[in-house]
Amino acid sequence: EKMGRDRSGCVARSALLTALALLLCCPVAGNTAEQDSHTEHGDSHGSNDTGFHIVTFRWEHVQAPYVIALWILVASLGKIVFHLSEKVTTVVPESALLIVLGLILGGIVWAADHTASFTLTPTVFFFYLLPPIVLDAGYFMPNRHFFGNLGTILMYAVIGTIWNAATTGLSLYGVSKTKIMGNLDAGLLEFLLFGSLIAAVDPVAVLAVFEEVHVNEMLFIIVFGESLLNDAVTVVLYNVFKSFVEVGPENVEGLDYFKGIVSFFVVSLGGTAVGIIFAFILSLITRFTKHVRVIEPGFVFIISYLSYLTAEMLSLSAILAITFCGICCQKYVKANLCEQSITTVRYAMKMLASGAETIIFMFLGISAVNTEIWTWNTAFILLTLVFISFYRVIGVVLQTWILNHYRVVQLEIIDQVVMSYGGLRGAVAFALVVLLDPKMPVKKLFVSTTIIVVYFTVIIQGLTIKPLVNWLKVKRSQHKEPLLNEKLHGRAFDHILSAIEDISGQIGHNYLRDKWTNFDRKYLSKIMMRKSAQISRDKILSVFRELNLKDAISYVSEGERKGSLAFIRSSSDVNVDFTGPRHSVVDSSVSAVLRESTSEVCLDMQAIENRTKSPKDREEIVTHHMLQQHLYKPRKRYRLNYSRHKLVRSDGEKQDKEIFQRTMKKRLEHFKPTKLGNNYTTKFRNMKKERAAKKKHSDAVPNGKLSTHSVAFQVKDSEAEDPSDGGISFLITPASNESDEIRAGIENPSFSVEEDQSDFQMIPPWMSNEETVIPSQRARLQIPGSPTNFRRLTPLQLSSRSIDSFLLADIPDEHPLSFLPESSM
């Protein structure tokens, strides 16, 4: 094992070196190409008279897009290089690494050329790099938590930012009066302007860092939401002070102040409104895209981008617009689009956002290497750093104290620490400062200071936040060693509480949410969701068995589609090994156990890893560890899974799947003794019948392997002729020659599989005398892979109504149920 590690270490190291070398060559190549082209051009000019050239080097022809593509490539290569070394990425946040990379590259370009040819221009930043990131944030925003904490978020975003801006600006102004910083040609307004642009917490930076530090979802939402919503405040303050500065302090009238306040409301509410309008348009459009599925994803991006640009055009808050566009369209888009389109949208969005973020940080590094912008003023820079940190802490503490009076779930000290420390400034501040009027004498100073501030927060704070949190967490937990019982029963309580919450359907203030859900149900969904999605949402409510079967069917078909028929065919694979990397903990040494238990930093106090200093017992540790590792997590803890860089299927899915299987197995057991005929059929409604009737049989078996022996069972309502009351068709599709193996592969003690099964598939259940339920494949087997579809079974984040979330996740038209044959009824 050690040898292997060494070898892979060697490989990694050599790969790192070659990659670095490559990276460094690219910009030089780019630059020399530029120079070459000049000479080349000169040459070709001279030799132009001699005739036709077979091949020419036409650099200027491709220069612009080539350079852009090259930089994107370099940034992405940089990411690969970083991730080659696991150790580095766990300690240093990626954003910091990218900045450093940018610095190096900038240095190289500078050394080669003595010009700073590449900088992060505000145009590029605001028009191309920022929208994908914010859209990604909005689209994946867990709405329930967001709106649940909206008051808190708004307070921090608005009041907090104003507080930060005002105090920082005023303090700097005050200090500047004392001449510590030398003679600065700046008045109160300039300082306030600076304060306003440096005060805002940056969504890009916050996300980049918080991804490494796994905080509990509420905290994440608050900080993240704050960083998004403070854009309105920043925009207003910035524009107001900027115009004041340009006009000159003498000319500012009282009316202008008033106008400034009004503009805040206009900008923020206007931006939100624009976003909502475009979300509406988007949802409406996606309702009709059934026949143009291939370009469906495009609509999402284009319309969201348009919302951004429209708000920008109207000088409203563009970030708010695109954020709310993403937030509001989520639900309908996910209901309307076909599954592949949804996946495409997700991946594309992640790719764009991740790419944009990489480029931003890299350019933040490169832009710094530019002698023209640097003015060093130690006192100013230091004081700025001190002030922003200090005032942020005070601001957070004060606001939290006020908010805790009104909040259901209190914000504790640790949360406040993370919030203060996690208030990072980033590229937005930089872009804003570069946009300042060059005629302003202090602009250079501001730019330099902003760069230093951004670097400080991203690099230093990003680096240290994880250890800080770790330290705090450990400090808190040293008070007591949770007992086994406490852990176990504590976790049980969590489960109980989530269950009760789900049953009562309410968490916290819900009057508004209920009203909204009703309104949405009655009006909005009717307009914006496809008919099929609505129908499936309404009718399926009937019986949980339907859900089970549907889910089972969809699962099987997913399995088929993915070609993972292995689980049907091979009996040996049926009992799938769920074990992850850790197989048996029992015989590992104490130190190994302790080392392994250094899992992700988690601020949630209850999920603390028990770092016992004096283990009573090796077995004790092992038991604790095992409990820690293997207890199912309650709903709240694992749900939030926002990550810019990964579209991971959370562990929660695997857990859900296991529990779900078990639950359904148990519930289906209830069926065993009941006679199929009446009980079964009377409860069924036909929701898929029309759809099934439409689909051709050939659609049924995508991978073509099971074409011959698909059998449909239709459970008819034996009593009534009611067409809408027909059976639910579900399909068990064994290949005929595999039937032996199938039977062998299905091990389920709860269900008796009859011996005379040569034709058992051919007999519809209501005709067979046996009292069996044909259980869904999933209920019978342990499944190898979890389908991405499974996530849609319980996407809590979609809706507060539990059933809705089941069904919204549910299968639109084009879904796997297409394998159902024409109705032969």
Partner 1 sequence: PFAPLSTIQDKLSRLALFFSREDFQRIGELAVNPLGDRIINAFFPDDKQSLDFRSFIRILACFRPTVKDKYADPNAAEPINSRSNKLRFAFQLYDQDRDGIISRGELIQVLRMMLEAQVTEDQLESITDRTIQEADLDGDGAISFEEFRKSLENINLEHKMSIRFLQ
Contact positions with partner 1 (CB under 8 A) in 630-669? 630-632, 634-635, 655-656, 658-660, 662-664, 666-667
Q: Is 598 in the site for partner 1 (CB under 8 A)?
A: no
**Closest distance to partner 1 from the beta carbon of 569 (Å):** 22
Nearer to partner 1, 450 or 548 (CB): 548
User: Can you spell out the DSSP letters for 67-124?
Assistant: HHHHHHHHHHHHHHHHHH-HHHHHHS-HHHHHHHHHHHHHHHHHHHHSS------HHH
Going residue by residue from 518 to 547, which x/- string records binding to partner 1, judged by CB under 8 A? --------------------xx-xxxx--x
Q: Is 80 in the site for partner 1 (CB under 8 A)?
A: no
Q: Is 491 in the site for partner 1 (CB under 8 A)?
A: yes
CA-CA distances (angstroms) from residue 782 to 380, 576, 635, 659, 745? Answer: 64, 6, 23, 12, 11
Q: Is 50 in the site for partner 1 (CB under 8 A)?
A: no
> Residue 648: is it exposed, middle or buried by C-beta count within 10 angstroms (0-12/13-18/19+)?
exposed
Q: Is 597 in the site for partner 1 (CB under 8 A)?
A: no
Comparing CA positions, the residue from 445, 358, 478, 369 lying closest to residue 113 is 369
Q: Which stretch binds partner 1 (CB under 8 A): 212-220, 268-276, 730-738, 800-808?
A: 800-808
Q: Which stretch binds partner 1 (CB under 8 A): 342-350, 488-496, 689-697, 762-770?
A: 488-496
Structure tokens given for 111: 């050394």
Rounded distance between C-alpha atoms, residue 142 and residue 159, angstroms: 23
**Closest distance to partner 1 from the beta carbon of 287 (Å):** 23
CA terminus-to-terminus distance, the chain = 62
- What residue has token string 């003498």? 250
**Closest distance to partner 1 from the beta carbon of 797 (Å):** 12
- What residue has token string 């940034």? 75
Nearer to partner 1, 662 or 696 (CB): 662
* Binding residue (CB under 8 A) for partner 1 from 684, 760, 806, 819: 806
Q: Is 249 in the site for partner 1 (CB under 8 A)?
A: no
Burial 495-516 (b: 16+ CB within 10 A, else e): eeebeeeeeeeebeeeeebeee
Contact (CB, 8 A) for 542 and 685: yes
For residue 556, the one-letter residue type is V
Q: Is 614 in the site for partner 1 (CB under 8 A)?
A: no
Q: Which stretch binds partner 1 (CB under 8 A): 16-24, 212-220, 331-339, 490-498?
A: 490-498
Q: Is 596 in the site for partner 1 (CB under 8 A)?
A: no
Q: Which residues within the stretch 110-139 sit at the binding site for partner 1 (CB under 8 A)?
A: none
> Residue 323: is it exposed, middle or buried by C-beta count within 10 angstroms (0-12/13-18/19+)?
buried
Local structure of 729: helix, strand or coil = strand
Rounded distance between C-alpha atoms, residue 357 and residue 181, angstroms: 35
Nearer to partner 1, 25 or 492 (CB): 492
Rounded distance between C-alpha atoms, residue 445 and residue 284, angstroms: 49
Contact (CB, 8 A) for 597 and 611: yes
Handedness of CA 564, 565, 570, 576 (dihedral sign): positive
CA-CA distances (angstroms) from residue 769 to 383, 537, 677? Answer: 86, 34, 10
Nearer to partner 1, 21 or 503 (CB): 503
**Closest distance to partner 1 from the beta carbon of 713 (Å):** 23
- Parallel, antiparallel, or unpaired for β 729-732 and 711-714? antiparallel
**Closest distance to partner 1 from the beta carbon of 782 (Å):** 8
Rounded distance between C-alpha atoms, residue 244 and residue 250, angstroms: 9
Q: Which residues within the stretch 376-415 sit at the binding site for partner 1 (CB under 8 A)?
A: 408
Question: Dihedrals φ, ψ of 151, to 5°?
Answer: -60, -50
* Binding residue (CB under 8 A) for partner 1 from 485, 591, 614, 758: 485
Q: Is 796 in the site for partner 1 (CB under 8 A)?
A: yes
Q: Which residues within the stretch 325-354 sit at the binding site for partner 1 (CB under 8 A)?
A: none
Comparing CA positions, the residue from 358, 357, 356 lying closest to residue 75 is 358
Nearer to partner 1, 328 or 585 (CB): 585
* Binding residue (CB under 8 A) for partner 1 from 183, 579, 591, 737: 579
Q: Which stretch binds partner 1 (CB under 8 A): 326-334, 351-359, 365-373, 629-637?
A: 629-637
Going residue by residue from 709 to 728, which x/- string records binding to partner 1, judged by CB under 8 A? ---------------x----
Q: Is 499 in the site for partner 1 (CB under 8 A)?
A: yes
Q: Which residues contact 62 (CB under 8 A, 6 or more apart)?
A: none
Q: Which residues within the stretch 464-483 sit at the binding site for partner 1 (CB under 8 A)?
A: 480, 483
Handedness of CA 178, 184, 189, 194 (dihedral sign): negative
Nearer to partner 1, 425 or 625 (CB): 625
* Binding residue (CB under 8 A) for partner 1 from 35, 506, 703, 707: 506
**Closest distance to partner 1 from the beta carbon of 657 (Å):** 8
Local structure of 326: helix, strand or coil = helix
Q: Which stretch binds partner 1 (CB under 8 A): 188-196, 432-440, 501-509, 688-696?
A: 501-509
Q: Is 578 in the site for partner 1 (CB under 8 A)?
A: yes
**Closest distance to partner 1 from the beta carbon of 9 (Å):** 30
* Binding residue (CB under 8 A) for partner 1 from 503, 522, 591, 614: 503
Contact (CB, 8 A) for 457 and 422: no
Local structure of 172: helix, strand or coil = helix
Going residue by residue from 667 to 706, which x/- string records binding to partner 1, judged by CB under 8 A? x---------------------------------------
Q: Which residues pair with 602 in a beta bridge?
A: 214
**Closest distance to partner 1 from the beta carbon of 526 (Å):** 16
Nearer to partner 1, 58 or 667 (CB): 667
**Measured at the alpha carbon of residue 433, what is the angle toward residues 428 and 436, in degrees to the nearest 5?**
135
User: Can you spell out the DSSP letters for 710-743?
Assistant: -EEEE---SS---GGG-PPEEEE---GGGHHHHH
Structure tokens given for 256: 């202008």
**Closest distance to partner 1 from the beta carbon of 805 (Å):** 6
Going residue by residue from 724 to 763, which x/- string records binding to partner 1, judged by CB under 8 A? x---------------------------------------
Nearer to partner 1, 420 or 799 (CB): 799
* Binding residue (CB under 8 A) for partner 1 from 107, 298, 505, 784: 505
